[in-house]
Each structure stands twice: as structure tokens, then as C-alpha cells.
Amino acid sequence: MASEVTISSPEPQKLEASQISSVKAFIESNDAVPIPSTYFSVHELREDVAENNLAASIPVIDFSLLTSDNPHVHANAVRQLGTVCKEWGFFMIINHGISEKLMKDLLNKCVEFHNLSFEEKKELANEELVTPIRYGTSALPHGEKADCWRDYLKVETHPNFNFPHKPPGFSELAFEYSRKIREVLRTLLQGVSESLDLRPNAIIDYTDYDSSYQTCQTNLYPPCPKPDLVLGLLPHNDNGLMTLLIQNDVNGLQVMHDGKWVNVNPIPNCILVNTGDQLEAVTNGRYKSIRHRVVVNERHARVTLALGNGPSLENETCPAPELLQKEKAVYKSIKYKDYFKVQQEARIADKRGLDMIHIN
Ligand code: OGA
Ligand code: NI
């Protein structure tokens, strides 16, 4: 009698995090070795990628119009900002006043950092969620559906400025850039407030922006031999108010819009802006935090620099009180520093952090 053949369950197994501590070091020393299956996020593949004409329709905001002395020009720019925050949660800003040279020099320093030996970088490794300096790979928390094909350095740059000393000059450029980004963001947050008929400094005040928590993160997405099976970053929402990102000339970011992943092809010298969970919370859900992910490619390393900007860590974010005169609070108030933990737990459960503080 033939014995029965047991077929293993097709249910995806929960994978252990891979042992790789740097994707770059791995791929450089293991050219012919298959990549660990913990990186395969097959269920997340490239399905539902929007047509390129949608990529071409990602909004562009002329930042200089927001700061215009002409009240009509300013009012139109505020209206446009409100519309793109509502309809996309993602846009490119041009004429932002940050020099092309500063952005290029800084990205070059990011490349130099990633090119330091693994031995030099690993001194900066740690697993703390909120920490002044962290070098790492994949993403925290571990235990998500798959590992991410990226290495990164994440540093707190406000209220206290931290930075590694290597490579020389990196810290100085990052300091200058992080302060300029704070000023750009201040103007954006003022515009966002005005677009909701709040006083210009409403969101600045409600998030204690002068002590706000800012992080500076450079991501390296090395070329990947199996780009169709692997993601650089799994779909996620940033936890802060807004993230401002620049990149080298390799694309890979995708944002979720109308149920499709839209490729982001930045125009030269622009800064990419995405909304985060704290913006959604303080606007009582008017401006949604945008979901995004990163795809990788077989040939080119992608380098990005993302400045994450939240409220102050001690700030208890709640919907702007003026908005609650006409509508009910959609989210519970929670300190930003506590929201980090909420978001981590949510990610392991494949949920959004905001789902955990949503009021039914
Ligand atoms: C992030 C992020 C996108 C990118 O660091 O949170 O979404 O293109 N980065 O590097
Ligand atoms: Ni992100």
C-alpha cells in the first residue's frame, strides 16, 4: 500500500530574522551565495504598481510661493498645500532655498559613510528604539514579515545634535542641513495649519515644535540579485509629522495612492515630503499619513537621506482643539515617545500604529 504523501502547509511561515548585519558587507563577500529566504517578501511583490502617468502626476509645490509677501500668492499656495496633503500626503518641493551644493555634498558624505569598513560602522550599532546614534540593517522591529534589503545610519539631530565623527566633515554638513530643514518644515507646518483655517502657529504650538524630535537617517540599498523578490523597505508609515528626503540619482521609493503603488521619480534638486502619523493625529485625520515602501534593483546602489520630524518626545499629541469644535476626536492623545512603542507593536502585527490609538 502506498504511503500517503504529506504536503506541507502553504501558509507562510514566520521567518527568523536573518543573521546578516550589513547587506553591503554580505553582498560584497558572497557574490555567488543565494540570499537568505528571510528577505523574500513575495506577498508584497510588485503587484498594483500604477502606470507611469500617475508617477508623473505627483504634486510639485513651489515653496517660494508659500513665503510670498503677496497675500493672494500666499493664499493660493496654502490652498494647494492643503489639497496635496489631503489628496496625496506626498509631494516634491522646489525653490526651497537649500542649495544644490549642500544637498550634493551631504549625499556624497552619506556615500562615504556607507563606504567605511564594516568594522568602523559596527561600533555604532545598537538595537535601542530611541537612541542618539544607531547603525543597522533591515528595520526595527525584527519580526516583521521579511527582512529589508538596506543598511542605515540613524541619528538624533534635534533637540540635541548627535553625529558620528566619521567621515570628516559629515557632521558639519548634517548640522547645517538639519537646521535648514527645520526652517523649511516650520513654513510647511504653518501652511498646513492655515489650510485648515487654524492660526499659522497652531500645529507648531500643539507639537511643541521648538523642542521637536528630529532624526537624520541615511539609507543604503545595495544592488540586489533578486530585485523582484525583495524590498528595500516594507510598506510602512513614518511616525512623525513630515519626513523630508533627498536621494542620489537612483529611484526606488513608491507611495500608495488610490490603492496603487506609485513610482517616485524626483525632479532635480527637489526635496521629497511625506506626511506621517503625528500629522494625521494632530489634524484629526484630515491629512492622512502616507504609506510607502522601497523597491530595489539589480545594478545600482541607492542612497537616500531622510529627515524625520516629529513633535517633541514629551509632547502629548492630540487633535488640534479648534478642529474638535466641529467634529469628534478620531485619535486618543498619546505622548510621542510612547507612540514609538505602539507603532513597533503594530508593525509586528502588520497594522498601522494609528490603528492602535483610533477611537471607534
Ligand atoms: C524611511 C523611508 C525611503 C527611502 O527611511 O522611512 O521611507 O526612499 N525611506 O529611502
Ligand atoms: Ni519611511
- Is ligand 1 within 6 A of the CB of residue 233? yes
- Is ligand 1 within 6 A of the CB of residue 292? yes
Task: Write down the pLDDT at residue 319.
Answer: 95
Average pLDDT of span 199-227: 97
Task: Write down the pLDDT at residue 107.
Answer: 98
Pocket residue to mutate for ligand 1, from 144, 148, 245, most atoms within 8 A of Cβ: 245
Ligand 1 atom closest to residue 293's alpha carbon, by position in its atom list:
7
Q: How confident is the model at residue 42 (pLDDT cuts 50, 70, 90)?
A: low
Ligand 1 atom closest to residue 272's alpha carbon, by position in its atom list:
8
- Is ligand 1 within 6 A of the CB of residue 330? no
How many other CB atoms are found less than 10 A from the CB of residue 211? 13
Residue nearest to atom 5 of ligand 1 (CA): 306
Kindly give the distance from the C-alpha atom of residue 304 to the centroid of ligand 1, in angstroms, as a whole number.
Answer: 7
pTM for this one? Answer: 0.94
Kindly give the distance from the C-alpha atom of residue 294 to the centroid of ligand 1, in angstroms, as a whole number.
Answer: 7
Say if residues 177 and 306 touch (Cβ distance below 8 Å): no
Average pLDDT of span 92-104: 98
Q: How confident is the model at residue 50 (pLDDT cuts 50, 70, 90)?
A: confident
Which amino acid is residue 169, in one-letter code? G
Give the chain's mean pLDDT: 92
Interior CA angle at 124 toward 336 and 146, to 5°?
A: 65
Kindly give the distance from the C-alpha atom of residue 34 to the centroid of ligand 1, in angstroms, as a whole number.
Answer: 26
Q: How confident is the model at residue 105 (pLDDT cuts 50, 70, 90)?
A: very high
Q: pLDDT for 150-184, tens place per residue? A: 999 999 999 999 999 999 999 999 999 999 999 99
Q: How confident is the model at residue 289 (pLDDT cuts 50, 70, 90)?
A: very high
> Of all helices (H) and strands (E), which one includes residue 30?
none
**Reduced to 3 states, what is the DSSP secondary structure of residue 23?**
helix
Q: How confident is the model at residue 30 (pLDDT cuts 50, 70, 90)?
A: confident
In this predicted structure, the answer to whether residue 5 has a pLDDT above a threshold of 70 is no
Task: Write down the pLDDT at residue 9.
Answer: 35
In this predicted structure, the answer to whether residue 22 has a pLDDT above a threshold of 70 is yes
Cα separation, 100 vs 205, whole angstroms:
31
Kindly give the distance from the C-alpha atom of residue 159 to the centroid of ligand 1, in angstroms, as a whole number.
Answer: 22
Q: pLDDT for 124-149, tens place per residue? A: 998 888 899 999 999 887 777 889 99
